Amino acid sequence: MANLKAIRKRIQGVAGTQQLTRAMKLVAAAKLRRAQESALAQRPYAEALGKIIGHLGNRLEEGAHPLLAKRPMKKALLLLYSSDRGLCGAFNLNICRAGEQFIQGQADDGVEVAVAAIGKKGFEFMQGREYPVVHNYQDLFADITFDSISRIGNELAAEYVKGDYDGLFVLYNQFKSPAVQRVTLQQVLPVSLEDTDADDNLVEHLFEPSKEELLDAVFPMYVNLQLFQALLESVASEMGARMTAMDNATNNAADLIKRLTLIYNKARQETITRELMDIVGGAEALS
């Protein structure tokens, strides 16, 4: 009997967990949709900014702006996008391992890498392995605004101009589908003009107040936009990963419940049979 009771309790426990994972899956799905929408919504802005840079930027010299300045790479900064929360499969582990590989790869080339972490998980991983973490950005995810990422971008750009490091890399999970994320490394600083669509046969633009002042405003914005895009991709990936992980957990719980119910029923049947045998045996002994 004690065995029966224990199995029943176990089934109830698993059912409770299943309810939880199912709820988390639904929440992640809703958040994923929102993240996908904002990733789509910033595209017109990115395109418009790319066009302006194209118009400003063709035939630009490297010395035209401090953020374009290429220096021999001695120190690099890695901006690592992870999440604040767990229960999202291998999402954080994948990105942290890729970060570690990058740091070691650069170290082999004689480049020192410092880490700036977005999200608690990446921070804990990097600090736990005693890599130098110079920035730790948390609480970004509750309310994702361009403003909060600009603050980070401006800080990092200022450090680049000051010469604290010679290159800024971002490492984030690119969203492919809810089940697939691809770890992506991208160099943000110095700004490279190769991927903007420069067009040579253009109408000559009027620049107000002046080309130089416009560049001063456009490039930081371009950097911030790239950081923002990476953040949106990372958040969508996180939600996708969590949704998939929680879906698997819910299915596993269903399997487990099925198996336990089978065991429970068998055990119950056995008890009944044994009791019947006892009664029959007792009746025979009496007659």
Partner 1 sequence: MKLQVVTPKEREVDLDVDSVTLPGSLGEMTILPGHTALVSNLDVGVLAYEVNGTTTLVAISCGFVEVLDDQVTVLSETCEEKNEIDVERAQRAYGRAQERMAKAVSDDRIDVARAEYARRRALARLLVTGKHN
* Residue numbers at the binding site for partner 1 (CB under 8 A): 38, 41-42, 44-45, 48-49, 51-52, 55-56, 146-147, 150, 203-209, 213-214, 217-218, 221, 225, 228
Catalytic amino acids?
Answer: 88
Closest to partner 1 by CB, 49 vs 183, is: 49
Supply 266's token pair.
């068998």
Backbone φ and ψ for 186, nearest 5 degrees, come out as -145, 135
In sequence order, the β-bridge partners of residue 186 are 170
Supply 60's token pair.
């630009």
| CA–CA dist 103, 101 (Å, integer) | 5
- Are 165 and 77 contacting, i.e. CB atoms less than 8 angstroms apart? yes
Closest to partner 1 by CB, 214 vs 267, is: 214
Minimum distance of partner 1 from residue 214's CB (angstroms): 6
| CA–CA dist 122, 128 (Å, integer) | 10
- Are 121 and 96 contacting, i.e. CB atoms less than 8 angstroms apart? yes
| CA–CA dist 214, 278 (Å, integer) | 95
End-to-end CA distance of the chain: 30
* Single-letter amino acid, residue 278: D
